[in-house]
Amino acid sequence: MRRHHDMGGLPAGPVEPVEHAHAPWEKKVDAILRLLVGKGVMTLDELRRGIEDLGPGAYDELSYFERWISSISNVLLEKGVLEVAELGAAIEAARARREAAA
């Protein structure tokens, strides 16, 4: 049975490879993943599994790096590296910094 993320072979038209600059937050997500993998906290297989486990709504609505950070967060929660309260506090602190900067 095909899972929602498995779109190989479905009609979608050609893929247009386009070089683009990454936003600073996207670079941070990449750096976080590289550090976690380098320290042995998680693997790329776990990242992929976490992305594939996103439900159809989330998978379709999230951008590439939003899928990454969602997967990273879920894996770290599963492993007990983070607790829900810690993650919630970090999200609120980031939101406050963004609003203060605006």
pLDDT tens-place string over residues 62-99: 999 999 999 999 999 999 999 999 999 999 999 999 89
Distance in angstroms (rounded) separating the CA atoms of residues 64 and 4 = 15
Tokens 């600059």, residue located:
21
pTM score, whole prediction: 0.81
What domains sit in the chain, N to C, each tagged with a CATH number?
24-101 (1.10.472.20)
Residues 19-25: contacts with CB under 8 Å, at least 24 apart:
22/65, 25/65
Residue range 37-69, pLDDT digits in tens: 999 999 999 999 999 899 888 988 999 999 999
